[in-house]
């Protein structure tokens, strides 16, 4: 599949910091993009297949007085991802924060999982994370941040999440090692591990009974909201300079 960076004009004057948010066309990715824009960053809103939803994010950011641009790529394609980074550098002057929220979740007991589905998740969740993280490690400016997305299910070990959690366990390992490899660069590398969060990705295919049961797990007795997760990302992208090489669980206290 061939994707190109969106050809629309980009702003000629930008705030000091520039962020790329992958998977920003909906759910947690949208909340992250809007929050970083509210923090004063110019945000490159990445999408893979839903340009209309990504444009809605850009429109929301600009309506609020922020700056946002569209970028389009298959996150597992290293050439397309490099093209996105190239244009961000050329048009916006550099890149300071990379938040990789793009991912897919297919649920099944291990013994029943179609291996084609496992390969699909692996390509997006593992290879895609590696490709984006590799490019970010080469490009992010001093004082910047790389933030990957894991899941609390790695720790919770819920049935039917085996293959998905396995892909995110790889993200955890990559994150902690990359943080050490960035020594001397003044770039933090962390992962956010949301718990049950009210997004289309989480809610799709679940009965109300299952949703209610998941909402009862945290001591706070509710599902997380995308804004809860975006708050944690904002901290890591900004003031949280002493948080590094960590998988930060954002799940309301689920254990």
CATH number of the structural domain spanning residue 165:
3.40.50.720
Residue 69 lies in a domain: yes
- Residue-by-residue pLDDT tens, the chain, 255 positions: 344 445 455 554 444 699 999 999 989 999 999 999 999 999 999 999 889 999 999 999 999 999 999 999 999 999 999 999 999 999 999 999 999 999 999 999 999 999 999 999 999 999 999 999 999 999 999 999 999 999 999 999 989 999 999 999 999 999 999 999 999 999 999 999 999 898 877 787 788 998 998 899 899 999 999 999 999 999 999 999 999 999 999 999 987
Residue 7 lies in a domain: no
Domains of the chain: total: 1
Left, alpha or beta for 169 (phi > 0: left; psi -120 to 50: alpha)? alpha
Residue 143 lies in a domain: yes
- Whether residue 36 contacts residue 234, with contact meaning beta carbons closer than 8 Å, is answered with yes
Residue 212 lies in a domain: no
Length of the chain: 255
Residue 117 lies in a domain: yes
- Whether residue 3 contacts residue 50, with contact meaning beta carbons closer than 8 Å, is answered with no
Residue 237 lies in a domain: yes
Residue 255 lies in a domain: no
Q: Which domain holds residue 124?
A: 18-196+227-249
Indicate which residue of 47, 161, 164, 249 is catalytic.
Answer: 164
Neighbouring C-beta atoms of residue 222, cutoff 10 Å: 13
Compute CA distances 16 → 41, 42, 93, 171, 252, whole Å.
Answer: 7, 8, 9, 29, 33
Bridge partners (DSSP) listed for residue 20: 44, 98
> 3-state DSSP call for residue 206?
coil
Neighbouring C-beta atoms of residue 245, cutoff 10 Å: 15
Global pTM value: 0.92
Residue 66 lies in a domain: yes
Q: Which phi and psi (to 5°) does residue 214 adopt?
A: -65, -35
Strand blocks (E) in the chain: 18-22, 42-47, 68-72, 97-100, 145-149, 188-194, 247-250
Q: Is 47 a catalytic residue?
A: no
């Amino acid at each position: 599949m061939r994707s190109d960076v969106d050809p629309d004009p980009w702003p000629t004057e930008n705030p000091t910091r520039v962020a790329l948010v992958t998977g920003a066309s909906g759910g947690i990715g949208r909340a992250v993009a809007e929050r970083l824009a509210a923090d004063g960053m110019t945000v490159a809103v990445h999408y893979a297949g839903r340009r209309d939803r990504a444009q809605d994010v850009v429109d929301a950011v600009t309506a609020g007085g922020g700056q946002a641009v569209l970028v389009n790529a298959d996150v597992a394609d290293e050439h397309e991802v490099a093209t996105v980074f190239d244009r961000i550098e050329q048009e916006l002057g550099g890149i300071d924060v990379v938040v990789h929220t793009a991912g897919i979740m297919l649920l099944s007991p291990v013994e029943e999982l179609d291996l084609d589905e496992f390969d699909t998740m692996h390509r997006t969740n593992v290879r895609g994370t590696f490709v984006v993280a590799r490019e970010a490690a080469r490009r992010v400016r001093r004082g910047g941040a790389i933030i990957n997305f894991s899941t609390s299910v790695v720790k919770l070990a819920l049935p039917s999440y085996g293959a998905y959690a396995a892909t995110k366990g790889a993200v955890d390992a990559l994150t902690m090692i990359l943080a050490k490899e960035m020594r001397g660069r003044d770039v933090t590398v962390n992962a956010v591990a949301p718990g049950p969060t009210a997004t289309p990705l989480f809610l799709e295919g679940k009965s109300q009974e299952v949703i209610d049961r998941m909402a009862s797990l945290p001591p706070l007795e509710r599902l997380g909201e995308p804004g809860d997760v975006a708050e944690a990302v904002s901290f890591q992208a900004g003031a949280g300079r002493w948080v590094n090489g960590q998988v930060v669980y954002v799940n309301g206290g689920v254990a």
